Amino acid sequence: MQILVVSDIARKSHSVRPEVAMFMEWAKAGHKVSIFSSPTEYKQELNAAGIGVFETSQTRKISWSTIQAIRAELKKNDYDVIYATNSKSIPSAAFAAISVAVKLVCYRGTVSGLYRTDPTSYLTVLHPRVDGVVCVSGSVSDYVKKKIWGRRKDKVVSIYKGHQLAWYNQEPAELSVYNIPGDAFVVIAAARFRPSKGLSVLIEAVDQLHDCKKLHLLIVGKGADCEPYTSAIQKNKMSDRIHVIGYQAEAPRFIAASDVLVQASTRGEGLPRSILEGLAYGVPAISTTSGGAKEILDEGKTGFVVDINDAQAIANRLLALYKEPQKLEAMSASCKELIDTRLSSASAARQYIEFFQSL
């Protein structure tokens, strides 16, 4: 199979790495893969894997030079599938593929921002030239099916992003510099904190656990150092054990240094990357029913799922794990096993190829 990827994989990052690994898995399996992207730090690795890279200068949703370049490549080579991944690459791929005998598949990672009454939605997932949609979770797939028109609903699937345990071998971050003792029970929240991330719910939950003297809450990411969070933390009975440390370039190292990750989102989630990174480091998660985490967490084995806005349920789960450290050890091994099997890069790559072939 000949596959043309239209994406933006400019910088090496934790978010881009799963995509690049999957492209390499396709090439390893014998498929011919080429990529259109802005100048990328992965170019040498991709070339070494036999993947051709066409660099573009696209900065807007509509780039006529990029459309023309993709169209020229499509006419030059007999591609079976175009795979486009974001709001800039999908329009370019869709317009370039008009009247060309190639299947166009696009990616969707969120459960918001797609509206039948919004003309810009017809530049991406709702574009009539799109033949199939791969969603990051079943929750996203259900959302897209409600928005898409006609028979194409049958061409919407969910495939979890693949990871590799080998990526997660860095030493855990040193937390003592944040006044967190070595024997602490560390609960971490790692995200870009918008209201939908439910941080206020988590802060309310730990307020109920102030008697757990070794419990500390570590908050990593932008947006937590402002209202309403600062006031809620100041009033919290655990205020001296809540640590807001802002954005960290190596956030997975802080997750690795923690005991439990909590994702208290109230809406809008696809499949949080922080949960996958935590699983790879053997850190179980407590997540709400918002988004795809509920689809992958095995209750009591790799984590727990609670209702949205239920601070008491989060507190109860944290308290149970706080009192049973031996249970955490067993869960840690199960978390890594999940990444190595069901959520591996090889598994994701196979599912994508099967979907492409079905089209």
The predicted-structure confidence for 289-316, as pLDDT tens digits, reads as follows: 998 999 999 999 999 999 999 999 999 9
Fold of 2-162+344-358: Rossmann fold (3.40.50)
Four-way CATH pick for 166-340: 3.10.310.30, 2.130.10.10, 1.10.730.10, 3.40.50.2000: 3.40.50.2000
User: Is a pLDDT exceeding 80 seen at residue 151?
Assistant: no
Closest by alpha carbon to 303, among 287, 326, 322?
Answer: 287
Q: What is the mean pLDDT of residues 147-159?
A: 90
Q: Cα-atom radius of gyration of the chain, to the nearest Å? A: 22
* pLDDT given at position 123: 94
Tell me: the pLDDT tens digits for 116-145? Answer: 999 999 999 999 999 999 999 999 999 999
φ/ψ of 232, rounded to 5, equals: -65, -40
User: Is a pLDDT exceeding 80 seen at residue 339?
Assistant: yes
- For residues 106 and 84, the answer to whether their CB atoms sit within 8 Å is yes
CATH 3.40.50.2000 location in the chain: 2-162+344-358, 166-340
State if pTM tops 0.85: yes
* pLDDT given at position 268: 77
Mean pLDDT of the chain: 95
In angstroms, the Cα distances linking 320 to 115, 146, 300, 304, 307 are: 42, 38, 11, 11, 17
Least confident of 83-87, 110-114, 268-272: 268-272
Q: How far is CA 33 from the centre of its chain?
A: 23
Q: How far apart are CA 304 and CA 294, in angstroms?
A: 8
Tell me: the pLDDT tens digits for 177-209? Answer: 999 999 999 999 999 999 999 999 999 999 999
Element (H, E) at 330: helix 325-340
Which band of pLDDT confidence, cut at 50, 70 and 90, is reported for residue 269?
A: confident
Higher pLDDT, 57 or 321: 321
* pLDDT given at position 331: 96
| DSSP category for residue 77 | S
Detail the DSSP E strand segments found in the chain: 2-6, 32-37, 52-55, 81-84, 103-108, 132-135, 156-158, 185-190, 215-220, 242-246, 260-263, 285-288, 303-306
Q: What is the mean pLDDT of residues 275-280?
A: 96
